[in-house]
């Protein structure tokens, strides 16, 4: 298992279907202000993180926050599925604009595990939606080809690295 060490000014996209463990992983590894979550942005604009009708507005808010953090060189972790076609290209374009290093964490969780984790929680996403998103999962090679500087598999990450060892200095190793 590897610790997740990121440059202090990195953009980090979590890539995985609903129920794969992205938010759990984000809470374990990062400070709340470093996490920009699509669910949280839905709640901000609609008082309901499950209100899919608020997705467009929520992503406008998410994009604004991401852009402001990247401009300032603050570590920015995107807690969204990042599986729809415009999601990752937009993030890569903004990271390049601000010359920030990019990392993708791919949630390489078997479909059966994703489905079990999804049904065992309070907020259950319809099974066909989980499968639709699961089918959009890229491979590690595809993520590299898209232009992500570093790609990690969530399954190889240590569950709870010590805070403070989490980020490298700006311009440090990736």
Ligand X SMILES: Nc1ncnc2c1ncn2[C@@H]1O[C@H](COP(=O)(O)OP(=O)(O)OP(=O)(O)O)[C@@H](O)[C@H]1O
Residues in touch with ligand X (CB under 6 A) = 16, 18-24, 39, 81, 117, 120-121, 125
Q: DSSP letters along 96-147, please?
A: HHTT--EEEEE----HHHHHHHHHTSSSPPPHHHHHHHHTTPPPHHHHHHHT
CB 78 within 8 A of CB 67: no
Least Å distance, CB 119 to Mg ion, is 15
Residue number with CB closer to ligand X (108 or 147): 108
Question: Whose CA is closest to 18, among 46, 44, 39, 36?
Answer: 39
173's contact among Mg ion, ligand X, none, with CB below 5 to 8 A by partner kind, is none
The reply on whether position 117 binds Mg ion by CB under 5 A is no
CB 123 within 8 A of CB 131: no
CA 26 and chain centroid, separation: 8
The reply on whether position 23 binds Mg ion by CB under 5 A is yes
Task: Tell me the chain's radius of gyration from C-alpha atoms.
Answer: 15
Least Å distance, CB 121 to ligand X, is 4
Residue number with CB closer to Mg ion (23 or 117): 23
138's contact among Mg ion, ligand X, none, with CB below 5 to 8 A by partner kind, is none
Question: Whose CA is closest to 4, among 83, 77, 79, 65?
Answer: 77
Residue number with CB closer to ligand X (42 or 94): 42
Least Å distance, CB 64 to ligand X, is 21
Residue nearest to ligand X (CB): 21
Residues that bind Mg ion (CB under 5 A): 23
């Amino acid at each position: 298992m590897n610790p997740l060490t990121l440059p202090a000014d990195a953009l980090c996209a979590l890539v995985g279907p609903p129920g794969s463990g992205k938010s759990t992983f984000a809470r374990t590894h990062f400070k709340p202000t470093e996490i920009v979550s699509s669910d949280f942005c839905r709640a901000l604009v609609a008082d309901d993180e499950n209100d899919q009708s608020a997705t467009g507005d929520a992503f406008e808010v998410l994009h604004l926050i991401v852009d402001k953090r990247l401009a300032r060189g603050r570590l920015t972790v995107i807690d969204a599925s990042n599986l729809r076609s415009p999601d990752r290209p937009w993030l890569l374009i903004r990271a390049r604009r601000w010359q920030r290093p990019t990392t993708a964490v791919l949630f390489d969780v078997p479909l059966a595990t994703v489905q079990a984790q999804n049904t065992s929680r309070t907020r259950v996403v319809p099974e066909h939606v989980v499968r639709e998103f699961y089918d959009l999962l890229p491979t590690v090679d595809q993520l590299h080809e898209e232009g992500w500087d570093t790609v990690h598999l969530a399954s190889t990450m240590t569950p709870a690295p010590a805070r403070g060892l989490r980020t490298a200095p700006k311009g440090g190793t990736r």
